[in-house]
Chains A and B, each alone.
Chain A
Amino acid sequence: MKKLYVIATLLLIALSVIEVSYLTHADALASESMNAQKLRKEIAKVEEKNQIIKSEILSLSSILIVSSKAAELGFAKPTEFISLKKLDSIALNHE
């Protein structure tokens, strides 16, 4: 009879252990899911910011903006141009 008592107790313990480990696993899974959700939201936010910054950079480096800024700063288009030939180079002539 003692044997039966032990078996029954062990069975109850085993079932409880299984239950607890199942709950622990489910809890871990749920926490992981919530973390993943949080990360996904953060990624979306960073991507959104990234896109906004990229657009701002593009707008500011547009040739139309750069040229108007250059004009504001007093840069003017040359009226005539010269091209230096290698032989005429002053910087390379040490004599």
Chain B
Amino acid sequence: MNNKRKISPRFVVLFLVILTSYSVLTGKLFYWQIIRAQEIKEIRDIQSTESLELLPERGEILFSDNFPIATNNINYLTYANPKVIKDVPGYSNSLAAVLDYDAASISARLNQDLFWVRLGVFDHKTKTKIENLKLDGIGFQIEASRFYPEASMAAHLVGFVGKNNEGEDQGYLGLEGYYDRQLRGKSGKLYIVKDALGNPIVTDIREERKVDGRTLVSSIDRTVQYIASEALKKGIQSYEAEGGSIIIMEPKTGKILGMSSVPNFDPQEYYEFDGDSYQNPVVSDLYEPGSTFKVLVMAAALNEGLVKANTRCSICSAPVQMGGFTIKTWNNEYYANTTMTEVIQHSDNTGMVFVGQKLGIKKMNYYLDQFGFGKTTGIDLQGEVSGSLRRESEWLPIDLATASFGQGISVTPIQLLTAVSSIANGGYLVKPHIINRIIEDDGEIIEIKSENNKKVLSSSAAEVMKWIMVNAVEQGDSKWVTLGNIPVAGKTGTAQIPVEGRYDPSQTIASFVGFFPADDPQISMLVLVNKPKTSIYGSETAAPIFFSVARDLVQYYDIKPE
């Protein structure tokens, strides 16, 4: 018997078929995956790798209480496919009922021979209403947008976000403009390899991390901002003025606590407003400061030891004649042998000419430069202008005389308040600033410290000037507005507006600058009222606004008399 089992020919055939199949398959795989691997990988990358741009979230801007001045929101780009719409008039009527459009304009869009028609960008509530209509061919795409919860309350301060030439978001003006690069962040990328059905393969996802924009924490106090903007709005209305501004600062640190201007705009819908309203007058507008400037010229003369509080004016008994011009007082009243304290109290132009002459052109120019005029303050807001100063050789005696009472010289409101704050803080020119802290994407906090402040006045000169200003408030033309027993140092200003080379007496910028409590100043403030109609005087328009805000701030900060 033959023990050897014969292999079935069918098995041999089957074995060879399977072996050949595997060999062919292995060979083919070797060919594609080893020999032509690179080429195949490139084709695969093109066909099945999707690269998604990960857009960074724009950083928030916060009030000092961490409530957002500017944050991000979701809106929905809504579109329709006209090809699937059977009853265009009915469809349009349904949409018109929930959108702020008329049915005819929607119908005109939907009658186009297109597959995709843009209906608009809507918020979540409108999107839900549209969804509830259950219309065919409608779609939504999420769009990130900037959101300003307090609307126009801090419009000039915050600026707005628009589109640049490349169609990217860009911050313009205010904090959005100044800190645009910090707020933007850096986009990332997500590379996804998909299978034949288009599903991503989980093990083959690569990511270049996006970096969200930094968060900015400001010194703006929401309550102070509200108090200021409401009082300004009310004041502008009451005095039938064209506009106005208010700035509230911590004189010792330069921190801005509130800043508001009227007319303003809604940063959310900035495109609905006139472009002129975007500029922040506090940093971008130059104006003649008028009598508020007298305190700085007087402080300079006190600092130089050229006058004292009780120095008497020898030219104040009548109008002063100079180079063919007659310099009068604002009310045509003259006080012979008046003291420097009274010069500020009466806002006496002739007295200031006396001070200006004592100071001289060289010293006047020096102090204007020391107080920061003719250059930007460096405040962290986009759009700040510097104005310019005359060169020493360009000054005429009449220029010196008019500059001493704030005419013929132009400053920005922020320059003036910064300079006056040096009287409040013992003689230091502080750098005004709004952002205190920057929080990075990874949570790291960068504290922004106040820069070294320049000493521009001696402590004693600042102290004397401060009490001269207190006297001006208590005895001057605005003595009817007070802050109880809390001493306020201040000065009114009524600057005529130059029109075609002449001053128009009916058009003024009324102002009041001051600080309180005078014995330990916590707040300095400037109020400007542009072209008031009920009264042209600062004492009757800007001063009441100043004291109304001051009263609220005393209560809010619980400031008590010493």
Contact = CB atoms under 8 A, between A and B. Distances in A.
Interface of A: 1-2, 4-5, 8, 11-12, 15, 29-30, 32-34, 36-37, 48, 51-52, 54-55, 58-59, 61-64, 67, 78, 81, 83
B199 A55 contact: no
Interface in B199-215: 199-203
Contact of B199 (A37, A67, A83): A37
Size range of the interface on B? 35 or more
B121 to A, nearest CB: 15
B4 A1 contact: yes
B156 interface: no
Contact of B68 (A51, A52, A58): A58
B190 to A, nearest CB: 10
A-B pairs with the 8 shortest C-beta distances?
A: A58-B149, A33-B202, A36-B202, A52-B124, A81-B555, A62-B149, A63-B226, A55-B73
A48 B150 contact: no
Interface string B179-207: 00000000000000001000111110000
A36 B15 contact: no
Given A12-B18, A52-B74, 12 more contacts: A1-B4, A1-B5, A1-B7, A12-B15, A30-B195, A33-B201, A33-B202, A55-B74, A58-B147, A59-B149, A62-B150, A83-B560
A67 B151 CA distance: 14
A34 B74 CA distance: 27
Interface in B32-75: 67-68, 71-74
B223 interface: yes
Contact of A5 (B7, B149, B554, B555): B7
Contacts of A8: 11, 15
A4 B15 CA distance: 11
Given A5-B11, A8-B15, A36 B200 contact: yes
Nearest to A57: B149
Nearest to B202: A33
A8 B555 CA distance: 97
A67 B226 contact: yes
A63 B560 CA distance: 26
B417 interface: no
Contacts of B150: 62-64
Nearest to A5: B7
A27 B179 CA distance: 50
A32 B74 contact: no
A33 B199 contact: yes
Contacts of A29: 201-203
A58 B15 CA distance: 74
Contacts, number: 73
Interface of B is mostly: mixed
6 contacts: A8-B11, A30-B195, A32-B202, A55-B74, A58-B67, A61-B149
A26 B375 CA distance: 69
A30 B195 CA distance: 8
A83 B558 contact: yes
Contacts of A1: 4-7
Contacts of A34: 199
B222 interface: yes
B142 interface: yes
B503 interface: no
Contacts of A63: 150, 153, 222-223, 226
B48 to A, nearest CB: 13
Nearest to A54: B71
A63 B246 CA distance: 19
B22 interface: yes
Nearest to A81: B555
B68 A48 contact: no
B6 to A, nearest CB: 8
A64 B149 CA distance: 9
B74 A48 contact: yes
User: Which of B11, B149, B151 has the most CB atoms of chain A within a 10 A radius of its CB?
Assistant: B149
Contact of A15 (B5, B22, B72, B73): B22
A26 to B, nearest CB: 9
Nearest to A83: B560
A4 B16 CA distance: 13
Nearest to A12: B18
A75 B551 CA distance: 18
A36 B192 CA distance: 12
Contacts of A55: 71, 73-74, 124, 147, 149
Contacts of B226: 63-64, 67
Contacts of B68: 58
Nearest to B551: A81
Interface in B83-134: 124
B5 A2 contact: yes
B63 to A, nearest CB: 9
A44 to B, nearest CB: 9
Contacts of A33: 195, 199-202
